[in-house]
């Protein structure tokens, strides 16, 4: 592999990491909002969210990306590859994150809410000051796990023409007729990215353990 | 819009063939992955340190690699080592290898949480070796794992869609072919999504049914 | 090396001539830095019911678990009908689990927490080991299992899963499961300690019937009534040593050692009174 190839791979890595991060940055809060809609028991919207989550969790990322990229222009919404990739990543991870947040919310002791209400807090205030600070810590391992899964399914965005790590590796292999070295280099890159996320998660957990006595 | 769906309906044979391929691929991959996971789990729980390290290395490696990359390595990379697969076999091989690691980890988790007394009783009655695993350890482990294995099967179904990139004629590939030939992207992919959703619901229903039967023993 | 004072009562001459079913010679065991068993020796003859008594932490369970090699002694020997357990004949090489299997098949064990196999019915639990470890024909095993279930009064539960049984029922099934292997000796590891008080009686009744019928049994228990009524010999363990070996009559009325007396004061005061009054 020439130096030029390494640079291509790193460019692919930059694409993978940046698009994944944007997808995560969108998907985590959207997932929380979806979970809140279901948790608060809003009638029609709650069922709609449940249906959305059920479908999105059953849909492969590849199929979703193809749907978004090819179908939206067809119904009058033009879309470029990068926004299409971000949209499908975000939609997909939001559905999984919704379930992760929901698990923490349903396990949250109602008694604490009673205490907040008795103290005169509105639902919004209680959520901001009492519920959220606890559930984000509880959900963290699940959320980070989902982030690593997102990165591992990110090669799907190659079907809409984006050159991520995997596609860059395939290109290099096709050009040099030596596919294994770039593939192995790509594996190392993914491994490093995933490891990075896991390290950050462990650091946050041990910090919380030290500060609060629980993780 | 209805015109689009009508076109897809007219070519439903192709779509259903893709669905059949997906089902066949995933069922085969699940069974083979479970079969291969068995010995890997035994290795993971073994007292033999080198064996345990090798098994652990394999499982951790598969959990770090994106599935598509593994599929590429099997399909494009192995030929340079002399092993040539067609795209179907490469896809199946990648699915099986990848998920055998996950299944092994699932089985290991359930095995490790077997109460010690359960295995003690097996030992006390003279069970050892293969008989101990088959008759005493494996049945409660597999029963405990059914919902998680069901989840993994859903994951296999979704991973199979990646294989469209190496031209395996599964559901997404066929939907893609229909949409590019007849310019019906929305209908084609919505139909594909609906079918994937249906598959997952079927798996979930099966898991629930097995769970209900297992309730008798709990 | 003088072991702690171990007093023996005189044995009937005829029984002394027979080779013991279980023979324990000078067993020592450490857990970490802690000596759990110190120079323990004991001998079980055919048809005898031995009760091992002692305060918590005296090593009773550990000793019992050494008898079928669920725990490995650090020093000493254990023999089953003259065959050395745990090491291949004439060498210091440890036995593989496969070599231990036929020995363990001849030693039945009943656990404190029953340890029934949850994925099998009651009948399934009884026939599993005889079929798969002893390779006996299924028809014969099932017939025998039905007889055993009759004896413990649980025939109608044959197709029920253990999760549906009460504690006392589970333990009776566990005893039947051990009997289904036609063992040479039965070990009981605090078989009633995990049971609600009102369920203890039904299990003790089964154990007493077995003792009267001539089964060779080694019983670790806190149930003094059982020890008095059904045991042929009491082995009193304290801090890992065999402190006293005596017949129940002697042990409960006039033990030789001070430690035994203290133990009885704490656990058996009422029974001693009953003995004295009833004698």
Q: Does residue C196 come out as left (phi exceeding 0), alpha (psi in the -120 to 50 range) or beta?
A: beta
Q: Which chains have 3 or more CB–CB distances shorter than 8 Å to chain B?
A: A, C
Task: Give the model confidence (pLDDT) of C17-74 as tens digits.
Answer: 578 899 999 999 999 889 999 999 999 999 999 999 998 888 999 999 999 899 999 9
Say which of B121, B139, B140 has its CB closest to residue C115. Answer: B121
pLDDT of residue B147: 84
Counting CB pairs under 8 A, whether chains B and C reach 3 or more, is yes
Dist CA C79 CA B96 (whole Å)? 50
Domain range list for chain A: 3-212
pLDDT value at position C5? 41
Cα separation, B22 vs A213, in Å, equals: 48
- Residue C7's pLDDT band (cuts 50, 70, 90): very low
Question: For residue C219, what are its two tokens?
Answer: 């019983």
Give CATH for domain B2-217: 1.10.3720.10
Chain A residues within an 8 Å CB radius of B161: 60-63, 156
pTM: 0.75
Residue ranges per domain, chain B?
A: 2-217
Q: What pLDDT is attached to residue C214?
A: 92
- B197 in reach of chain A (CB within 8 A): yes
According to the model, what pLDDT value does residue C213 have?
Answer: 92
Query: Hey, which residues does C78 pair with through a beta bridge?
Result: C24
pLDDT tier for residue C274 given thresholds of 50, 70 and 90: very low
pLDDT at A51 over 50: yes
Query: What counts of helices (H) and strands (E) characterise chain A?
Result: 10, 0
Would you place residue C6 in the very low, low, confident or very high pLDDT band (cuts 50, 70, 90)?
very low
Which pLDDT tens digit goes with each residue over C101-151? 889 889 999 999 888 888 889 999 999 889 988 889 999 999 999 999 999
Q: Say what the pLDDT of residue C279 is.
A: 39
Structure-token match 């000078």, residue found:
C26
Mean pLDDT of chain C: 86
Separation between Cα atoms, residue A31 and residue A39, nearest integer Å: 12
Contact between chains at B80 and A178 (C-beta distance less than 8 A): yes
**Is B126–C101 a contact, with Cβ atoms under 8 angstroms apart?**
yes
Enumerate the H helices of chain C as residue ranges: 13-17, 60-67, 97-106, 122-132, 138-152, 167-179, 197-212, 224-230, 248-253, 258-267, 269-278
**In 10 A of CB B130, how many CB atoms?**
10
Q: Tokens 């029984």, residue?
A: C15
When comparing pLDDT for C165 and A75, which is higher? C165
**Cβ within 8 Å, pair A63-B201:** no
In this structure, the number of other CB atoms found within 10 A of the CB of residue C168 comes to: 21
Cα–Cα dist C181/C91, whole Å: 29
For an interface test with B, the pick among C61, C101, C119 (most B C-beta atoms closer than 10 Å) comes out as C119
B201 touches B21 (CB < 8 A): no
Partner-chain contact B193 A154, CB within 8 Å:
no
Q: Do B126 and C98 touch (CB under 8 A)?
A: no
Residues of chain B with pLDDT under 50: none
CA distance C196 to C203: 11
What stretches of chain B adopt beta strand conformation (E)? none
Q: How confident is the model at residue A67 (pLDDT cuts 50, 70, 90)?
A: very high
Quick one: tokens of C51? 């009760």
Statement: residue C8 has pLDDT above 60: no
Contact B193 A170 (CB under 8 A): no
State percent of chain C over pLDDT 70: 89
pLDDT at A213: 61
Place of tokens 């280099």: A185
What are the beta bridge partners of residue C110? C188
Report the DSSP pairing between strands C241-246 and C83-84: unpaired
> Which pLDDT does position C4 carry in this prediction?
41
pLDDT digits (tens, 9 = 90+) for A76-106: 888 899 999 999 999 999 999 999 999 888 8
Report chain A's mean pLDDT, rounded to a whole number: 88
| Pick from C44, C76, C51: nearest CA to C229 | C51
Measure the CA–CA gap between A101 and A108, rounded to whole angstroms.
Answer: 11
Q: How many CB pairs under 8 A join B and C?
A: 72
- Long-range contacts of A106-113, Cβ-Cβ distance < 8 Å, separation of 24 or more: A106/A39, A107/A138, A108/A134, A108/A135
CA distances from A61 to A160, B62, B98, B130, C266 (A): 11, 19, 18, 41, 70
Q: Residue range A62-73: average pLDDT? A: 91
Per-residue model confidence as pLDDT tens digits over B25-54: 999 999 999 999 989 999 998 889 999 999
- How far apart, in whole angstroms, are the C-alpha atoms of residue B166 and residue B160? 11
Measured CA to CA, the distance from residue A34 to residue A32 in angstroms comes to 5
pLDDT of residue B6: 87
Sheet holding C241-246, edge to edge: C107-110, C185-189, C217-220, C49-53, C233-238, C241-246
Query: In chain B, whose CA is at the least distance from the CA of A177?
Result: B80
What's the CA gap between B101 and B40, in Å, rounded?
A: 8
Residue C176's pLDDT is what? Answer: 94
Chain C residue closest in CA terms to B216: C161
- How close, in Å, is residue B76 to chain A by CA atoms? 6
Q: pLDDT band for position A18 (50/70/90)?
A: very high
Q: How many of the other CB atoms lie within 10 Å of CB of B52?
A: 14
Q: What integer pLDDT is reported at residue C217 of this predicted model?
A: 96
Rg (CA), chain A: 20
Residue B125: what pLDDT?
92
DSSP character at residue B81: G
Cβ-based neighbour number of residue A57 at 10 Å: 16
Contacts A190 to B, Cβ<8 Å:
64-66, 69
* pLDDT at residue number A76: 81
Residues present in chain A in total: 215
Q: Which of C98, C109, C116 sits opposite B124 (nearest CB)?
A: C109
Instruction: Reply yes or no on whether the pLDDT at C207 is more than 90.
Output: yes
Tens-place pLDDT, residues A124-146? 888 888 888 888 888 888 888 89
- In the numeric block, which tokens belong to residue A169? 């590796």
| C273 has a pLDDT exceeding 50 | no
Q: In Å, how far is B133's CA from the nearest CA of chain C?
A: 12
- The count of CB pairs under 8 A between chains A and B is 121
Q: What pLDDT does A127 receive?
A: 85
Question: Which residue in this structure is represented by tokens 């729980």?
Answer: B45
B114, with CB counted inside 10 A (0-12, 13-18, 19+), is middle
- What sections of A40-71 are H helices per DSSP? 43-58, 61-66
Give me the pLDDT at residue B154, please. Answer: 92
Taking 90 as the threshold, does the pLDDT of residue C189 lie above it?
A: yes
**Interchain CB contact of B73 with A (< 8 Å):** yes
Question: If you average pLDDT over residues A190-194, what whole number do you get?
Answer: 88
Check if B172 contacts A (Cβ < 8 Å). yes
CB contact under 8 A, C115 and B118: yes
Contacts of C7 (CB under 8 A, 6+ apart): C244, C245, C246, C256, C257
* Cβ contact A100:A143 at 8 Å: yes
Contact C109 B139 (CB under 8 A): no
- With a CB cutoff of 8 Å and minimum separation 6, the contacts of B214 are B143, B146
Q: How far is CA B116 from the centre of its chain?
A: 30
CATH architecture of residue range(s) A3-212: Orthogonal Bundle (1.10)
Query: How many whole angstroms separate alpha carbon C45 and alpha carbon C48?
Result: 6
pLDDT (average), residues A21-50:
92
**Mean pLDDT of all residues in A168-178:** 87
3-state secondary structure C119-146: CCCHHHHHHHHHHHCCCCCHHHHHHHHH
The confidence score (pLDDT) of residue C1 equals: 40
Tokens read off for C20: 């013991």
């Amino acid at each position: 592999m020439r130096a030029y190839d390494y640079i291509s791979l790193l460019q692919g890595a930059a694409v993978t990491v940046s698009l994944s991060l944007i997808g995560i940055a969108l998907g985590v809060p959207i997932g929380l909002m979806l979970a809140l809609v279901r948790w608060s028991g809003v009638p029609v919207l709650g069922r709609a969210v449940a249906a959305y989550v059920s479908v999105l969790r059953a849909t492969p990322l590849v199929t979703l990306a193809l749907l978004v990229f090819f179908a939206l222009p067809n119904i009058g919404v033009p879309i470029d590859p990068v926004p299409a990739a971000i949209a499908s990543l975000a939609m997909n991870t939001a559905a999984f994150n919704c379930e992760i947040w929901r698990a923490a919310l349903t396990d949250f002791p109602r008694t604490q809410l009673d205490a907040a209400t008795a103290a005169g807090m509105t639902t919004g205030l209680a959520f901001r000051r009492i519920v959220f600070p606890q559930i984000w810590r509880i959900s963290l391992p699940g959320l980070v796990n989902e982030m690593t899964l997102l990165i591992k399914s990110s090669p799907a965005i190659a079907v809409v023409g984006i050159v991520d790590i995997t596609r860059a590796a395939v290109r290099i292999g096709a050009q040099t007729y030596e596919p294994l070295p770039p593939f192995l280099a790509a594996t190392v890159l993914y491994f490093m990215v995933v490891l990075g996320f896991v390290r950050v998660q462990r650091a946050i957990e041990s910090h919380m353990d030290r500060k609060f006595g629980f993780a | 819009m209805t015109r689009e769906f009508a076109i897809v309906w007219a070519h439903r044979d192709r779509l259903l063939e893709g669905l059949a391929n997906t089902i066949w691929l995933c069922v085969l991959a699940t069974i083979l992955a479970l079969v291969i996971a068995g010995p890997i789990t035994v290795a993971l729980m073994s007292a033999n340190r080198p064996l345990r390290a090798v098994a652990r290395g394999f499982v951790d490696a598969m959990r770090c690699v994106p599935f598509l990359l593994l599929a590429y390595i099997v399909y494009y990379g192995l030929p340079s080592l002399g092993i040539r697969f067609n795209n179907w076999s490469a896809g199946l091989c990648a699915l099986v290898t990848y998920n055998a690691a996950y299944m092994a980890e699932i089985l290991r988790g359930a095995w490790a949480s077997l109460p010690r007394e359960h295995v003690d009783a097996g030992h006390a009655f003279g069970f050892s070796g293969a008989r101990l695993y088959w008759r005493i350890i494996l049945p409660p482990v597999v029963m405990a794992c059914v919902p998680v294995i069901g989840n993994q099967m859903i994951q296999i179904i979704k991973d199979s869609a990646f294989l469209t990139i190496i031209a395996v004629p599964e559901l997404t590939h066929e939907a893609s072919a229909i949409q590019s030939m007849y310019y019906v992207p929305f209908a084609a992919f919505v139909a594909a999504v609906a079918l994937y959703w249906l598959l997952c619901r079927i798996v979930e229903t099966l898991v629930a049914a097995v769970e209900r039967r297992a309730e008798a023993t709990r | 090396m003088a072991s702690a004072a171990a007093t023996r009562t005189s044995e009937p001459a005829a029984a002394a001539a027979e080779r013991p079913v279980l023979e324990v010679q000078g067993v020592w065991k450490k857990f970490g830095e802690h000596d759990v068993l110190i120079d323990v020796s004991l001998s079980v003859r055919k048809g005898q019911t031995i009760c091992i008594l002692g305060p918590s932490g005296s090593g009773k369970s550990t000793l019992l678990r050494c008898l079928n090699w669920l725990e490995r002694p650090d020093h000493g020997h254990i023999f089953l009908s003259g065959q050395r357990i745990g090491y291949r004949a004439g060498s210091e090489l440890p036995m593989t689990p496969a070599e231990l299997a036929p020995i363990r098949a001849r030693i039945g064990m009943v656990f404190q927490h029953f340890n029934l196999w949850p994925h099998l019915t009651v009948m399934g639990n009884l026939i599993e080991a005889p079929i798969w470890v002893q390779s006996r024909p299924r028809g014969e095993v099932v017939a025998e299992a039905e007889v055993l279930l009759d004896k413990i009064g649980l025939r109608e539960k044959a197709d029920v899963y253990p999760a549906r049984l009460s504690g006392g029922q589970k333990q009776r099934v566990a005893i039947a499961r051990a009997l289904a292997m036609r063992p040479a000796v039965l070990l009981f590891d605090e078989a009633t300690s995990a049971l609600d008080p009102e369920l203890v009686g039904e299990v003790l009744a089964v154990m007493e019937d077995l003792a009267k019928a001539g089964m060779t049994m080694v019983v670790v228990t806190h149930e003094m009534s059982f020890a008095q009524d059904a045991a042929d010999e009491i082995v009193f363990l304290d801090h890992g040593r065999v402190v006293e070996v005596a017949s129940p009559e002697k042990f409960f009325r006039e033990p030789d050692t001070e430690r035994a007396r203290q133990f009885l004061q704490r656990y058996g005061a009422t029974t001693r009174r009953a003995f004295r009054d009833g004698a």
